[in-house]
A and B are shown apart, each in its own frame.
Chain A
């Protein structure tokens, strides 16, 4: 197995610690070696590109310069970090004038030519779904997830080639391989409004509750995500909807790495589930998975 540089992203050290921990433990169990990029910084998220283009390329640029020094490919787990790093890389490699400006701003060469890959892709490529089935010790029977990619993972225009931007399937296939009964729905890449969660909560509550409604309509009993902003937003903003929506939505939301850890029988898995705002344990107990 290859060794990759790994960009954790801010959320994975705090609000989505269970994502960061489960990602590392799952990768380790699957023989994928992830080495954390030394002294990485925040990618700038939405706030940088919405206000200052040069800053939005230079903040990821510092990380790209570090990845370049180390060589090899760079693995990311947060959809927003992935999007920003990949977008910055594409702009830097396609526009030499910009690359020189970023180099001056960062004080290092940001022309990283390795691949930037989401952990989901790495697992599919390195392990393969067929081999993954063999490693499952606890099939996720009783779980009926809808897979929610969110907007940013499949969006960088012309940059994502591994999956269909309108109807991505990789996470569905992965969950099927783990023994879950995946439900199809048409909200896979609809935005949850994460960047407006604190500022226009009213708008976000509508979007989030529509997602929960659609997931239930599709017959799902949980939602699986690959983005810490999506998970935080779905968990945080579903409750405000109680007053304005007929039903109370309390479908648990999981990171795909948590599902992997559970199916692979990793010992730490139960610890991760205690950190969720929507308690997933009743569902897991009901399915005999916890």
Chain B
């Protein structure tokens, strides 16, 4: 795939993440240990290389940046002490900031619903989170049986637990928007 280069990508990612991506020498430990490698289109060590090469478009539109679950196995094992999972966070945030169409539509949508729930009530409530995510993703059919079972076991509380001072929570969301 040929893409326009973004020569400043490495610097931008390093500044935002605080990580020295240039130190990666492609040992591949991150990709070998990654539990999600089978579902990725670009492996973690390749992500590091593509950052060095300025391949912004490929990275921000990849499945990988959303498939990474941030378990930090890569980070724990990197011989150059690069927080690989932290770099993934940076790439995800950049993709959202730049309005790149995500390869995994539902994952950022889930994050949006999750944060919307916190913004509204201060704490996560399963009916609000699952209700908003299932409605917006259109994935209504899956997990209905599970939801019924969870309700029966008292694992879903219909009355949400609220933060009292929700103005403070809303303020955090407002002030931390870039």
Contacts and interface: CB of A to CB of B under 8 A. Distances in A.
- Judge: A and B partners, yes or no: yes
A54 B24 CA distance: 26
B172 A62 contact: yes
A151 B175 CA distance: 31
A89 to B, nearest CB: 16
B112 to A, nearest CB: 8
Interface in B150-178: 150, 153-157, 161, 163-165, 168-169, 171-173, 175-178
A245 B133 CA distance: 29
A105 B176 contact: yes
A62 B170 CA distance: 12
Interface residues of B, number: 61
Contacts of A51: 92-93, 96, 108, 111-112, 115
A68 B35 CA distance: 37
A39 B165 contact: yes
Nearest to A45: B114
Interface string A1-24: 000000000110111110000000
Nearest to B117: A42
Interface residues of A, number: 58
Given A15-B155, A17-B155, A198-B133, A47 B67 contact: no
A199 B35 contact: no
Contacts of B69: 46, 191, 193-196
Interface of A: 10-11, 13-17, 39-42, 44-55, 58-59, 61-62, 104-107, 151-152, 155-157, 165-166, 189-191, 193-196, 198-201, 203, 206-207, 232, 236, 274-277
